[in-house]
Amino acid sequence: MFKSSLTLASASAVLALAFMSPAHAAPDEEAAKTLMKANDCTKCHAVDKTKKGPSLKKIAEKYKGKADGQEKLVTNFTTGPMVKLADGTEEKHKVVDTKDVKELKNLASYILAQ
């Protein structure tokens, strides 16, 4: 009886901790910045000001809180859709040069955290 009570208490504690932890781990900021720099993302995007493209904060506002926000950002990084620039012109968005889904999701999470 004592053994089963201990097992039940342990299982309850693990379950409680699982619900207390965030749904998504915090992004690896340095890895995201390195990927952005390697792909020249910072030529068009800055954290808090509009350059040729919108700021990361503005992008985050658009997608934050949406169930498919991270997925939409990853799609944007990997498919090169047409995007409207700050001056009103349009061009194809550059495709991020990685096939690593973890890196792409980390970049999206970093942007959403702005």
pLDDT digits (tens, 9 = 90+) for 36-94: 999 999 999 999 999 999 999 999 999 999 999 999 999 999 999 999 999 999 999 99
Give CA torsion, residues 52, 54, 57, 60, to 10 deg. -140
Question: What DSSP character marks residue 43?
Answer: G
At residue 6, the pLDDT reads: 40
Predicted confidence band at 33 (pLDDT cuts at 50, 70, 90)? very high
Tell me the pTM. 0.77
Q: Which residues of 57-67 are buried (b: 16+ CB within 10 A; e: fewer)?
A: bebbeebeeee
Residue 99 phi/psi, 5-degree rounding, is -105, 0
Q: Using the predicted structure, report yes or no on whether residue 27 has a pLDDT greater than 60.
A: yes
- Separation of alpha carbons 78 and 45, rounded Å: 17
Domain 27-112: homologous superfamily in CATH: Cytochrome c-like domain (1.10.760.10)
At residue 24, the pLDDT reads: 56
